[in-house]
């Protein structure tokens, strides 16, 4: 069901969240030395491809074949290559301590798969590796400018504090900002941002 939803959403010629990377993600990459990055739920690849243009070795995954197709087209257009696996979060598996960075950019999931993914993220990160997250918080339900309509799929400070209690939190904030990321992330939005180090 979910896979069909994303294949339908991504099955257009336009990039529904745009070709540019998420602004917070792009800003955070500026100060980091490129290494290996894992990008769960990378959709049409805008963030993975951007990281590759900065010299990162990119491993992205999503369950949508249509998303993968567009991500690889975007990579070709930008003259870079990325690894993009078809997998859902329950199946995705990468070596322990293999990532210098994991980025969760609007990786909205129901509670059980989300908990599974967040636990995997900790394992994938190398000691000293970094996590960057931007997602919608529950206040977003009042905006109608994007994201799931199910409060259980939105991120709270408590979810992040609890899930990542073994990481060193550098930034954890909820804020209102104006998003312009294609047709489905557009307008005043309530987001949560999180940066942590293993």
Q: Are 83 and 58 in contact (CB under 8 A)?
A: yes
Residue 122 is assigned to a structural domain of this protein: yes
**Is residue 173 classed exposed, middle or buried when 0-12, 13-18 and 19+ CB atoms within 10 A define those classes?**
exposed
CA distance 75 to 39: 15
- Domains of the chain: total: 1
Q: Are 193 and 171 in contact (CB under 8 A)?
A: yes
Residue 183 is assigned to a structural domain of this protein: no
pLDDT confidence of residue 1: 66
146-159 residue pLDDT tens: 999 999 999 999 99
Question: What range does the domain containing 49 cover?
Answer: 2-11+23-166
Q: Which of 32, 31, 23, 69 is nearest to 180 (CA)?
A: 23
Residue 154 is assigned to a structural domain of this protein: yes
Residue 188 is assigned to a structural domain of this protein: no
60-119 residue pLDDT tens: 999 999 999 999 999 999 999 999 999 999 999 999 999 999 999 999 999 999 999 999
**Is residue 149 classed exposed, middle or buried when 0-12, 13-18 and 19+ CB atoms within 10 A define those classes?**
exposed
Q: Are 116 and 86 in contact (CB under 8 A)?
A: no
State the pTM of this model: 0.96
CA distance 157 to 192: 8
Which residue's entry shows tokens 């369950």? 63
Q: What is the DSSP string of 1-36?
A: -HHHHHHHHH-SSS-TT-SSPPHHHHHHHTTS---E
Least confident of 50-54, 79-83, 86-90, 185-189: 185-189
Residue 175 is assigned to a structural domain of this protein: no
The percentage of the chain sitting over the pLDDT mark of 90, rounded to a whole number, equals 85
Cα-flanking dihedrals φ and ψ of residue 180, to 5°?
Answer: -135, 80
Say which CATH number the domain at 147 has. 3.40.50.150
Residue 174 is assigned to a structural domain of this protein: no
**Is residue 27 classed exposed, middle or buried when 0-12, 13-18 and 19+ CB atoms within 10 A define those classes?**
exposed
Residue 108 is assigned to a structural domain of this protein: yes
Residue 187 is assigned to a structural domain of this protein: no
């Amino acid at each position: 069901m979910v896979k069909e939803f994303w294949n339908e959403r991504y099955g257009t010629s336009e990039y529904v969240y745009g070709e540019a990377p998420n602004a917070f993600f792009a800003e955070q990459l500026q100060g980091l030395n490129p290494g290996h990055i894992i990008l769960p739920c990378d959709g049409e690849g805008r963030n993975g491809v951007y990281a590759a243009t900065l010299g990162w070795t990119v491993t992205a995954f999503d369950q949508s074949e249509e998303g993968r197709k567009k991500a690889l087209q975007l990579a070709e257009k930008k003259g870079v290559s990325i690894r993009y696996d078809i997998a859902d979060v329950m199946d995705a598996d990468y070596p322990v301590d293999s990532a210098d960075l994991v980025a969760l950019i609007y990786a909205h999931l129901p509670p059980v798969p989300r908990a599974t993914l967040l636990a995997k993220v900790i394992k994938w990160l190398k000691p000293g590796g970094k996590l960057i997250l931007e997602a919608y918080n529950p206040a977003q339900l009042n905006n109608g400018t994007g994201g799931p309509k199910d409060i259980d799929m939105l991120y709270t400070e408590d979810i992040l504090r609890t899930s990542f209690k073994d990481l060193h939190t550098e930034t954890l904030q909820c804020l209102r900002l104006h998003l312009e990321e294609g047709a489905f992330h557009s307008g005043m939005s309530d987001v949560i941002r999180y940066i942590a180090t293993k």
